[in-house]
Structure 1
């Protein structure tokens, strides 16, 4: 499995996710390659000092530098996990062929059945509404209110951006990422056992 994490500048969140998952993959003996990139990154730039410190603290010794997401990364990845819904939308707009393998990290590891059903229904309704709009058909008040109702039921899948904050803010973001990575490792382990 080849996993690509994506955030904005590829200096804070996605490098944290990359390094922390690489540590877990190594510890678990999982067959996974991990990279990260940014939708507005400068290729070859340094990652943030606080992200680098937290990764070093966790035992990750490899140097990481920022990378702009490009077609080669998208083609390489089996799974693209973004830090926010905005990043997910950007990736899908730029690389529509990657839609079926692009999720937010939190969305991908969601395990609450009720929430998963709400997401599925919302995706279906939004697609239907967009199709109606494209065909200049009217969208009913009921359709709009059902989408809104589903939006309220679905948790926020954005991981907080620590950019510019002190180390403690980065640590909170790393913990937020880490809890999702724990669920991701369980999913990776299950898929390995099913093969």
Structure 2
């Protein structure tokens, strides 16, 4: 399996996600390839000092250099995980063919059964309302009210941006990423081996 993490400059959040995911998967005996890129990245920049320090503290010494997002990388990935909704939107606008494999990290890792059921209902309702409008029909008021209510209840799936912040800011972001990666690995291992790591 090949996973691509995407943020803005590919010097803070997505490289931390890349390094941590590689290590966590290796520790669990889960064979995946991981890369990261940025929607506005310059090529070949070192990751930020604090991001590097956070990874080093976790025993991660990978040399990760910034990579601008490009079509070859998008095609390479089986799963693209953006660090915020904004990154996800940019991804889908630039690479509409990859929309069905593009999510935010927290959204894909979501494991709360109530949220998952409501998210499915939200997607179904949105599609029905869209169809009604396309056919020139007025969507039902009750459906619109329910859609608004569901949108309000959905969690925010953005990972906070530590750029320009203190080491504590980076620690907080890294903890946020790690928590989402743990859930992500749980989901992937469930799908691939029914919850057990490969021997």
Unaligned runs of 5+ in 1: none
Unaligned runs of 5+ in 2: none
Q: Residues of 2 paired with 1:38 and 1:136: CA distance?
A: 40
Contact 1:92 1:98 in 2 (8 A): yes
Q: Residues of 2 paired with 1:132 and 1:85: CA distance?
A: 26
Q: Does 1:63 align with 2:69?
A: no
Q: Do the aligned partners of residues 182 and 84 (structure 1) sit closer, same or farther apart at CA in structure 2, a change above 3 Å counting? A: same
**Residues 170-181 of structure 1 mapped to structure 2, 5 A cutoff:** 170-181=170-181
**Residues 31-180 of structure 1 mapped to structure 2, 5 A cutoff:** 31-133=31-133, 137-180=137-180
Q: Tell me how far 1:102 sits from its aligned partner.
A: 0.9
Q: Tell me how far 1:183 sits from its aligned partner.
A: 1.0
TM-score w.r.t. structure 2 length?
Answer: 0.90
Contact 1:109 1:183 in 2 (8 A): yes
Q: Secondary structure at the match of 2:103?
A: strand
Q: Residues of 1 paired with 2:87 and 2:139: CA distance?
A: 27
Deviation string for 1:123-150 (max 9, x for gaps)?
A: 2333344455556654454343222200
Q: Residues of 1 paired with 2:93 and 2:134: CA distance?
A: 17
Deviation string for 1:42-97 (max 9, x for gaps)?
A: 12122111111111111111211111111111111011111111111111111111
- Number of aligned residue pairs: give it: 195
Q: Secondary structure at the match of 1:108?
A: helix
Q: Do the aligned partners of residues 128 and 41 (structure 1) sit closer, same or farther apart at CA in structure 2, a change above 3 Å counting? A: farther
Q: Do the aligned partners of residues 43 and 135 (structure 1) sit closer, same or farther apart at CA in structure 2, a change above 3 Å counting? A: farther
Q: Residues of 1 paired with 2:137 and 2:45: CA distance?
A: 47
Q: Residues of 1 paired with 2:70 and 2:127: CA distance?
A: 26
